[in-house]
Structure 1
Amino acid sequence: MNKNQNIAMGISLAVVAIMVGSAEIFGEKEIIFPEITAVAMGALIAPVQSWNTSRIRLFAAIVSAAVAGVCIVRFIPEILILRIALGLLVAVSVITLSKTSFVPAVSACILPILMGTKSPVYVISVAVMTAFILIFQKVLEYFGLHEKYEYRPIEPSSELLKLRAKQVITALVIFVLPAHFHEIFFIAPPLIVAFFELSGKGSKLMNRKYTAIALMAVAAFAGVMARFFISEKLGLTLTFGAVLSSAVIFVLCRKAKLYFPPCCAISTLPFIIPKTAIIKFPFEVTAGYIVLTIAAVIIAKIDNNTN
């Protein structure tokens, strides 16, 4: 398994290098889609695919969500909490209608909203980078280097719809203050994805929530350290820093035996934020995820008491 995972990690790091390198070459920051490292973790590196979805549905969900996010920025009034609310509703609808558990689609929709992205370049990058990952997944499966996942449609039952409503409402209540003060790292898209995964019915992540918090914090600090020391101080490329921080978190996830895709996205996010925000990023991310973890625990306890 380690040999197969090493191959998957190598492929994933190559995709990160292509993505960030392209952004540097063309001067288009919108090419950098941090969630692609999460998709790589869940689709390639994890022994079993992290989400109940097929390749086609995964691709359709993430691209649809990305398009929706850009459209919201273009056409909806510049009221951040309104845009976030609409983005969450659209993303959750996409996930539900696709009959999958592919919650990273939430990140694809919310990221352009938080960053104010209007460029179609972002959508193209999401589509191309996701396609790379899925093609490589197919290749690894063909050569017996990755276990094939058997997708089972998730029907939108009343129970699921109630859970999604609780998740969206809870998230929006938490997001009001960060959105008002525009402290967006408290509600960074990968944190939202992690919240949805953690508060899902029968979440295995709940049993390792403290490890998840630790990985999220380490990922945030690793990304910032790589950006600050390697790219800013040493003057090396963002590509080198992004690949290094991704490699660190890939290895840590494997060592912890917790294949936690959202923390991988967090490690890449520092490479698209302003220099002036680097210092506060890991602290706000960690604090935000702790709050969202507490909220997820409360949702889980309420559900357990009502069942």
Structure 2
Amino acid sequence: MKMNRSTKAHRLPKAAVFALALGVVAAMVAAAEILGIEDIIFPEAAALTIGFWTAPVCPWRVGTKQGVAMMVAAGLLGYGISAWLPAPLMVKIAVGYACGAALIVVSHSSLYPVFSAVMLPVILGVDTPVYCLAVAVLAAVILLPAGAMHGDADAVQTKRDDALPVRAQVCRFGLLLVFVLVLAALGRHLNRLMLIAPPLIVGAAGVVDNPKPIPLMTLVKILILCAAAAVFGSGCRLALTETMGFAAAVSAAAAFALLLLLAWRWGLWFPPAGAVTLLAYLMPPARLSAYALWILFGGAALGASAVAVRLLTKKQTDKPLRF
């Protein structure tokens, strides 16, 4: 996971790229609202627009066509596990996480949003194939034109040359799964599964699979950004849609615009924060007031878990942690 701070120029003006990203989010939410099908809302679409469009350099190493195939596969797996696997929720969570990790390891890529594509339907109980169609369409719309968004051909890189050894990847992802299951059990007991919100798992997976040092202050800023994203998403939905009656597409676009402005101001392009913003639109209205708090708790817990995994497995890489 690369937290990009560079300032390379896009082929398109920055305002145009931001407008296109907002348009994708607004269109997705509008389609879900008009058709009355909530499963059309795929929060990770916002993360993909940040990673492939608005960030100066894509933080993931994956070919665009390969990325679409991976997202489609992840969506199908998530739907299949949620709708067809006859197992308790905790088993489904473990299987979904394992499928996400397997996609990363087998593909030799770093497209961590596949974790969210698999685990979102499992955690939310999605049981309609419309979700798979939404993931496929959004992935294609966002990833395929990604190269055209940048003036630099290296902005979207297809090869990963910094991957950990497979044994180290399996070990790290496996240890993180233990922490995820502990938090899932706690979240289920408290009836607050947002402790393991899929975008937070995407971020944690990126931390454990990154061989490079990650400064502690960067992780703190990421946590603050995710908490702010939760505030933007829940706040705009409560104020603009639930209270003032604006269409959900309007409030979702406003929330995402606030996040993009903050990310641009900080120079910290962390894609999962975009998904955190839109995940608020899949929450029951009664849960929105505490949404940001649980995202903050879950982000802190999963972030600490990811750091713990790195510390426990630091002998598997010769690149030490830096705090």
Q: So what's the TM-score if we normalise by structure 2?
A: 0.89
Letter in 1 for 2:248: L
Q: Is the 8 A contact 2:72 2:136 kept in 1?
A: yes
Give the 3 Å change call, closer, same or farther, for CA 160–103 of structure 1 in structure 2: same
Q: 2:280 corresponds to which residue?
A: 270
Q: 118, 125, 130: which one pairs with 2:134? A: 125
Please list the CA deviations of residues 59-102 of structure 1 after superposition, one character each: whole Å capped at 9, or x if unmatched: 11111111111111122235211110010011111121111111
Please list the CA deviations of residues 259-302 of structure 1 after superposition, one character each: whole Å capped at 9, or x if unmatched: 00011110111111111111121111111111111111212222
Please give the residue correspondences for 1:146-185 in structure 2 after superposition, counting only pairs within 5 Å: 147-153=154-160, 154=163, 157-185=166-194
Q: 208, 216, 227: which one pairs with 1:217? A: 227
Please list the CA deviations of residues 184-218 of structure 1 after superposition, one character each: whole Å capped at 9, or x if unmatched: 11111001111111222335654401100110111
The alignment status of 1:80 with 2:92, answered yes or no, reads no
Q: Is the 8 A contact 1:34 1:268 kept in 2?
A: yes
Q: 2:198 corresponds to which residue?
A: 189
The alignment status of 1:302 with 2:312, answered yes or no, reads yes
Distance 1:234 1:157 in 2: 52
Q: 1:70 corresponds to which residue?
A: 79
Letter in 2 for 1:247: A
Q: 1:202 corresponds to which residue?
A: 211
Q: Is the 8 A contact 1:4 1:146 kept in 2?
A: no
Q: 1:255 corresponds to which residue?
A: 265
Q: Is the 8 A contact 1:30 1:117 kept in 2?
A: yes
Letter in 2 for 1:41: I
Letter in 2 for 1:55: T
Distance 1:59 1:204 in 2: 29
Distance 1:145 1:248 in 2: 27
Letter in 2 for 1:170: F
Residue 51 (structure 1) shift:
0.4
Letter in 2 for 1:266: V
Q: Percent identity between the aligned chains?
A: 28
Q: 1:234 corresponds to which residue?
A: 244
Q: 92, 108, 118: which one pairs with 2:101? A: 92
Q: 293, 306, 316: which one pairs with 1:283? A: 293
Give the 3 Å change call, closer, same or farther, for CA 204–190 of structure 1 in structure 2: farther
Q: 2:123 corresponds to which residue?
A: 114
Question: Superposition RMSD on alpha carbons, in Å?
Answer: 1.9
Distance 1:198 1:280 in 2: 26
Residue 304 (structure 1) shift:
2.9
Gaps (5+ residues) in structure 1? none
Distance 2:54 2:211 in 1: 23
Match of 1:65, SS state, is helix
Residue 155 (structure 1) shift:
8.0
Between 174-183 and 119-128, report the one with greater CA deviation. 174-183
Match of 1:259, SS state, is coil
Structure with a larger share of its residues in helix: 1
Give the 3 Å change call, closer, same or farther, for CA 204–125 of structure 1 in structure 2: farther
Q: 8, 20, 40: which one pairs with 1:11? A: 20
The alignment status of 1:101 with 2:110, answered yes or no, reads yes
The alignment status of 1:243 with 2:250, answered yes or no, reads no
Residue 223 (structure 1) shift:
0.5
Distance 1:240 1:56 in 2: 31
Match of 1:279, SS state, is helix
Gaps (5+ residues) in structure 2? 1-8, 318-323
Distance 2:107 2:211 in 1: 20
Q: Is the 8 A contact 1:44 1:146 kept in 2?
A: no
Give the 3 Å change call, closer, same or farther, for CA 200–206 of structure 1 in structure 2: farther
Match of 1:278, SS state, is helix
Q: Is the 8 A contact 1:39 1:261 kept in 2?
A: yes
Letter in 1 for 2:157: E
Q: 2:5 corresponds to which residue?
A: none
Give the 3 Å change call, closer, same or farther, for CA 270–36 of structure 1 in structure 2: same
Distance 2:87 2:289 in 1: 27
Distance 1:57 1:220 in 2: 30
Distance 2:214 2:25 in 1: 25
Residue 178 (structure 1) shift:
1.1
Q: So what's the TM-score if we normalise by structure 1?
A: 0.93
Give the 3 Å change call, closer, same or farther, for CA 27–206 of structure 1 in structure 2: farther
The alignment status of 1:59 with 2:42, answered yes or no, reads no
Q: Is the 8 A contact 1:205 1:212 kept in 2?
A: no
Q: How many residues are treated as equivalent by the alignment?
A: 305
